[in-house]
Amino acid sequence: MSADSLLNRVVRATERISTAWHGAAQQSAPPSAPPKTPDDRAAYFPVALMHPPIDPARAPIVMLEPDRQDERSRAAAVRVIDAYNAAIQRAKTAAPSMWAGVEAQQAEFLTAVRERDVATVQQTLARLFHTHLIWGLGRVHPETPVHIRGGQGEGTQIQLTDVLVSLAEATGAARITSIEQQGIDTHLAALKVDPTAVLGAIIDRTGLRLEMPEVGGNYGCTIAGRRVTVDTLVHGYTAYRLHQLGVEPGARIVEIGGGYGCLAFVCHRNGYADYTIVDLPWVNLIQGYMLIMSLSPDAVSLFGEPDRPVRVRPFWEFGTFPDRSVDVVINTDSLPEIGEETGRQYIADIARLTRKYFLSINQEAMAEYPGIGPQLHVNGLVAEEPRLRLLHRHRYWMRQGYVEELFAPIDPASRA
């Protein structure tokens, strides 16, 4: 196979994904010739996959309707409204970051929250995954429901197959292809799998529970009667890693920057009930709704509420936790995006709080953000903290360009 022919195959495959991630306007007919420059080639890889997206399996895609406008969803809306308004009365300002701009884009919704407009908040959160509130909080995009309704859900299906195969490889439920030993064709067919068999092998090997809850009109694929999403599979890997590391079900886990709450949900479903998220108050609002609607409402505690197994708290509460009071601190895909002062304080608090581990899964691009500066580098920040040491560092199984690192406190007494 010539290099031009191979590149054309990859180009055609990746164009299917561009619609799901960047919008239909970027989808075009395959070019008559392969791109010639590095910049041109990059344009055809809009989503970072771990495998060549050639002839991939596509499980049936399913998109839920918005949550019913009933007393259950209304009660959840009231609780998150109360918690947000209580938090902003005591708010501390985070260092400047890209998230200040993201929050500003939610001004209309947050005005409704501050004005305690329950009906508007309830209706918006009921269709959470169809709104711009969800942007940046997971492997989701507000335009994806539009594409699915238009019959253009291939991008989501391909992404899901990619992370499904990645999870199988990470857990030993599938073998990794080797160009050296098997040739190029086998490697290119890495996603040409039976999703039912792959998911079954993962579950048989790990016992993971990977279903996505019915909340917010979310979308995913049905495999062997289970409705899974890109995020539940990605976060299933993190739950698997906790089990691998010997983290017991009763361990106290704190997640810095919890996205829309999916990792907290997956960890809870897989045995980790003592779980706290710390994040910006407006993101707490989304996390709180997701978890209240997904778990028992009595299992979730928001800011100002009595303590319960799953807690959703504003970021400044992290610094109030007692020394050596947390078994594991987790951060996935967020520390590089926060302000430098806040990031450094997080690392200092992690060194003080954690008894066992700090698990970081992040990119290291240090991309420049207009008006803010370069993103943070977690390894670099920890290198300046004498109370933490690096135990493991390796490429992340589930996403291109990310690194997984495991740190531990140096104080021997903390490992007792």
CA–CA distance, 389 with 328 (Å, rounded to integer): 14
Does residue 235 surpass a pLDDT of 80?
yes
- If one counts the domains in the chain, the total is 2
d(CA 352, CA 82): 31
DSSP state letter for 194: -
Q: pLDDT tens digits for 165-184? A: 999 999 999 999 999 999 99
- Phi and psi at 345, nearest 5°, equal -70, -40
Average pLDDT, the chain: 91
Asked whether residue 178 is domain-assigned, the answer is no
User: Is 117 domain-assigned?
Assistant: no
pLDDT at 194 over 60: yes
**Region 377-400 average pLDDT:** 97
Looking up residue 329, the CATH number of its domain turns out to be 3.40.50.150
Predicted confidence band of residue 48 (pLDDT cuts 50, 70, 90): confident
Give pLDDT tens digits for 63-90: 999 999 999 999 999 999 999 999 999 9
Total number of residues shown for the chain: 416
In a domain, 195, yes or no: no
Looking at the DSSP assignment, which residues form a beta bridge with residue 226? 223
Domain hosting 9: range is 1-38
The closest alpha carbon to 219, from 285, 309, 147, 278, belongs to: 147
SS (H, E, C) 314-341: EHHHHHHCCCCCEEEEEEECCHHHCCHH
- Domain membership flag for residue 60: no
For residue 115, what pLDDT is reported? 98
Residue 413 reports pLDDT greater than 50: yes
The pLDDT value given to residue 129:
98
pLDDT tens for residues 204-214? 999 999 999 99
Let me know: does 135 contact 142? Beta carbons within 8 Å.
Answer: yes
Kindly state whether residue 45 falls inside one of the protein's structural domains. no
- Whether residue 364 lies inside any domain: the answer is yes
HSE at residue 39, side-chain half, CA atoms within 13 A, is 0
User: What is the model's pLDDT at position 32?
Assistant: 37
Asked if 224 and 198 touch (Cβ cutoff 8 Å), the reply is no
Handedness of CA 125, 127, 132, 135 (dihedral sign): positive
Residue 122 domain-assigned?
Answer: no
Instruction: Return phi, psi of residue 334, to 5°.
Output: -150, -35
Q: What are phi and psi of 59, to 5 degrees?
A: -75, 155
Give the model's confidence band at 33: pLDDT under 50 very low, under 70 low, under 90 confident, else very high. Answer: very low
* Between residues 47 and 107, the one the model is more confident about: 107
The stretch 303-331 carries a mean pLDDT of 98
> Does residue 238 lie within any of the structural domains?
yes
**Nearest alpha-carbon partner for 335 in 326, 345, 325, 327:** 345
| pLDDT (tens digit per residue) in 125-150 | 999 999 999 999 999 999 999 999 99
95-99, 107-111, 336-340, 410-414: range with lowest mean pLDDT: 410-414
Please, which pLDDT band fits residue 12 given cuts at 50, 70 and 90? low
Beta strand pairing call for 275-279 and 253-256: parallel
User: What is the pTM for the complete model shown?
Assistant: 0.91
In the chain, % of residues over pLDDT 90: 86
Please give the pLDDT value at position 11.
60
Cα separation of 257 and 329, whole Å?
A: 11
pLDDT in the model for residue 122: 98
Give tens-digit pLDDT for 265-300. Answer: 999 999 999 999 999 999 999 999 999 999 999 999
Closest CA to 264 of 244, 230, 239, 229: 239
Task: For the chain, report the end-to-end CA distance as a whole number of angstroms.
Answer: 58
| Cross-strand bridge partners of residue 61 | 221
Is 356 in a helix, a strand, or coil? strand
